[in-house]
Structure 1
């Protein structure tokens, strides 16, 4: 298993934006940390620039990195007629060669879960560590491995609905199966576009695999790489982590060399 085979959810960048652009809580949190540093900020697994572009609009210099050409191409298209200070780079985040060190690197959108093996997680974090300045900050989020999250029924479950670009309602359903040996959740997402009559006009299924990490496991993983954990939160409002959390937000600092 690896992130290269995990792209079905990202094959339509416009759809991705439509479903995700409204989420900005993490951007507000990142802006607070961006204000504390000087120098280029690196957005890893930046996708279409959901978090990259708002930070650049605040005057910060950004490097957006992603391995998915289609998502990155769409990000470039969105900013081609602007004067924003963003450099878009297509690279594997486990093998970064950016030629620069940053005081602040982040990875949002639960992208950490795309690194499915212990080896991939180690390579990612080592790559981040190498590109951070002394005492630089790394912020990332990942879903909390609660029983409700992992032990979802393997039958089709309704998730949410939204209006697409044509004004049609799209109902979204998921089917999940958790592999306890690999700590990987296998998701099938089903999107059904509805006519005004309520009849299904179109249906699309995508697959994605997401790795879950438990808090004690994450603590040892980060400290083993050399990070100091500055804070762990259940949301982007800095609420302390609790057993009923849905997310884990980590703020880490590179130890002094």
Structure 2
């Protein structure tokens, strides 16, 4: 992936406050807590963003390192952790080139961040990097959207997604998406359009962002993980540990480093 493509794909994260407003779901935390309950070493959160999951785990007493490529997201994370008066090591690095000088028994990457690695080479470099920072038999957990027909064949015209209330302005925000799936490269190109409405229902502001996401099929993922030294221990369709099925929306992988 070239530098220009990477910068383009960070556009969605250039407004960290907006990101927090639109991503307040933390279903992953209970799942992760169940697995790290007995861990007393350092836990590494890759593509940690604004610390949406890192900070709650640190508040439970775990030693955390949060890694992200985006400077602005990390600055927002630092503000939030300082407000909570907790110590977290925030590091700006490319997850395909990790150099943390530490190994962990537990590394995770949530928020479907695996989809940001758009090429086979980028995926391999990510998994190699993770493997190098895991202790033997260490655990790596991540999730990615399930490549169902409904997910891939979304309309390439504007489609309503959801409405939420903007915490800063108090305005209601209608969110629409436009998608275009590149079958040859297994990449979905998304445009997200936000329409801020007054109390009278008039649109007073609009904001659009773009992002591209790589999709991986289950059997493809099985071979990819095995090739990079991982054994799949569990695959779930959600963070409630529901078994994966054909009607899944996402895939949650629990993997162990075996070599």
Tell me the TM-score normalized by structure 2: 0.96
Are 1:53 and 2:55 an aligned pair?
yes
Partner of 1:174: 177
Of 107, 111, 114, which aligns to 1:112?
114
Check whether the contact 1:6–1:209 (CA below 8 A) recurs between aligned residues.
yes
Name stretches of at least 5 consecutive residues in structure 1 with no aligned partner: none
Question: Separation in 2 of the partners of 1:189 and 1:79?
Answer: 29
Deviations 1:79-130 (A, max 9, x none): 1244423100000000000000000000000000000000000000000000
Are 1:211 and 2:229 an aligned pair?
no
How does 1:124-163 map onto structure 2 within 5 Å?
A: 124-163=126-165
Partner of 2:72: 70
Question: Separation in 2 of the partners of 1:252 and 1:4?
Answer: 29
SS at match of 1:80: helix
TM-superposed CA distance for 1:173, in Å, is: 0.1
Are 1:242 and 2:253 an aligned pair?
no
SS at match of 1:167: coil
Of 32, 35, 42, which aligns to 2:34?
32
SS at match of 1:103: strand
Partner of 1:197: 200
* RMSD across aligned positions (CA): 1.0
Name stretches of at least 5 consecutive residues in structure 2 with no aligned partner: none
SS at match of 1:79: helix
Are 1:222 and 2:225 an aligned pair?
yes
> Runs of 4 or more off by more than 6 Å in structure 1?
none
Question: Separation in 2 of the partners of 1:219 and 1:235?
Answer: 18
Larger mean CA deviation between 162-171 and 174-183 belongs to 162-171
Question: Separation in 2 of the partners of 1:18 and 1:31?
Answer: 24
Question: Separation in 2 of the partners of 1:128 and 1:101?
Answer: 10
Check whether the contact 1:192–1:200 (CA below 8 A) recurs between aligned residues.
yes
Tell me the TM-score normalized by structure 1: 0.97
Count of residue pairs the alignment pairs up: 255
Question: Separation in 1 of the partners of 2:39 and 2:7?
Answer: 32
Are 1:8 and 2:11 an aligned pair?
yes
TM-superposed CA distance for 1:7, in Å, is: 1.1
Check whether the contact 2:63–2:88 (CA below 8 A) recurs between aligned residues.
yes
Question: Separation in 2 of the partners of 1:4 and 1:169?
Answer: 29
